Amino acid sequence: MKTTELQPRGAATIARTDEANQLAAITSNFIAELDVRPKSREIYTRNIGNFFRWVQASGRNLNTLTAADIVAYKTHLTENYSPATAAGYIAAVRRFYVWAEANQLAPNIAAAVKPPKRAKAIAKQPLTLSDTGRLLQYEADTDRRNYAIINLMLRVGLRCIEVSRANVGDISTIAGRRVLYVQGKGKDAKDNFVILPADAYEPIAQYLADRKATDDEPLFCSRSNNHQNGRLTTRAISAIAKNGLQNIGLNEKFFTAHSLRHTAAVNILRAGGSLLDAKRTLRHANIETTQIYTATMEQEQRLNNGGELIADEFLNKMIGKIEVNAPSMAH
């Protein structure tokens, strides 16, 4: 298969033996032309660097790679990384070769290589009303800050990243209604809001009164020795939620911090709100995303009114309880 030498523009004088400098120059040119956010640039830099290191470690030459080599890299990824991580690495390689072909540096040998299949995510479960009450009572009895966080997430459906990014000064009013301005996932600014009902706001107000916080401080602060009074990370918020869930007996892996957001959405539907109401509260771009919560409602109805329960109740009523008198044949 014919290949094209992959050299960065303006780098013809780079010595062919100086492979590290060649790869650094290629990476720099590739990253410079990406129209993405700074964080995404960091991710692409890391991911394409992983590919270049694999090329070197496997004894291959970047200038003579073929589609078979990209497939071999994909196999390496699937054997050594999670499906999500492997998919991210392959996505960077595919985008790199689109760029390389557009700049007449090399043919797009990654075009036909499909990203690894991701394992189906574990469906997060909403809390029942009973479990919601127990979780809130546990937090209220244990920690004022954590209670304010968990209560907020359960009532208005914030993501961990949105809780982490919130500042004290993001609490405001619109037309007399108290709100919290939100910087959502993938957003560069706090361009949306959630309404703060009194029961969502009061625990926050009590927590802030204890801190005597100013507007430019994080809404929720860390207490760790290494990050005292700094912004709580998403990992820390997730751990707070998981700890609370485990302490009320919800230890299964499908009960996580995201279950609190799921619960807020399902409670809107449980109370008779519309799918559009849930969409606006969760700030989904498309209502199709919100429709997953209707499946949860259908599941609840199925569990509470299943045909199996009807048949069981009918048999018990008509023929009564069966007494088991047969001897056991268990070994």
* Assessment of whether the complete model's pTM goes beyond 0.75: no
Burial class of 304 by CB neighbour count within 10 A (0 to 12, 13 to 18, 19+): exposed
In this prediction, residue 58 carries a pLDDT of: 94
Tell whether 217 and 295 lie within a shared domain. yes
Tell whether 150 and 222 lie within a shared domain. yes
Tell whether 56 and 150 lie within a shared domain. no
Domain boundary (35, 67, 102) is at: 102
Lookup: tokens for 4:
């094209």
The amino acid that residue 188 corresponds to is D
Q: What are phi and psi of 2, to 5 degrees?
A: -70, 135
In this prediction, residue 166 carries a pLDDT of: 96
34 within domain boundaries: yes
Q: Is 186 left (phi over 0), alpha (psi -120 to 50) or beta?
A: left
- Work out how many domains the chain is built from and give that number: 2
3-state secondary structure 5-42: CCCCCCCCCCCCCCHHHHHHHHHHHHHHCCCCCHHHHH
Tens of pLDDT along the chain (331 residues) come to 444 456 555 433 333 446 778 888 889 999 999 988 888 899 999 999 999 999 999 999 888 999 999 999 999 998 998 888 898 999 999 999 999 999 999 999 999 988 877 655 546 688 999 999 999 999 999 999 999 999 999 999 999 999 999 999 999 999 999 999 999 887 888 989 999 999 999 999 999 998 888 899 999 999 988 888 889 999 999 999 999 999 999 999 889 999 999 999 999 999 999 999 999 999 988 888 888 888 777 877 788 888 888 888 888 888 988 888 888 776 6
Distance CA 238, CA 230 (A): 16
In this prediction, residue 16 carries a pLDDT of: 40
What tens digit of pLDDT does each residue of 10-46 get? 433 333 446 778 888 889 999 999 988 888 899 999 9
156 within domain boundaries: yes
In this prediction, residue 5 carries a pLDDT of: 54
Tell whether 220 and 71 lie within a shared domain. no
60 within domain boundaries: yes
8 within domain boundaries: no
The label of the residue with tokens 């090329």 reads 55
Tell whether 85 and 151 lie within a shared domain. no
What tens digit of pLDDT does each residue of 88-147 get? 999 999 999 999 999 999 999 999 988 877 655 546 688 999 999 999 999 999 999 999
- Its domain, for residue 91, covers 19-102
Q: Is 322 left (phi over 0), alpha (psi -120 to 50) or beta?
A: beta
In this prediction, residue 36 carries a pLDDT of: 85
CATH code of the domain in which 42 resides: 1.10.150
Lookup: tokens for 54:
């694999």
Looking at residue 321, the DSSP 8-state letter turns out to be P
Tell whether 196 and 254 lie within a shared domain. yes
39 within domain boundaries: yes
In this prediction, residue 6 carries a pLDDT of: 60
CATH code of the domain in which 194 resides: 1.10.443.10
Q: How far is CA 38 from CA 31, 74, 183, 237, in A?
A: 10, 26, 16, 24
Tell whether 96 and 141 lie within a shared domain. no
Tell whether 91 and 215 lie within a shared domain. no
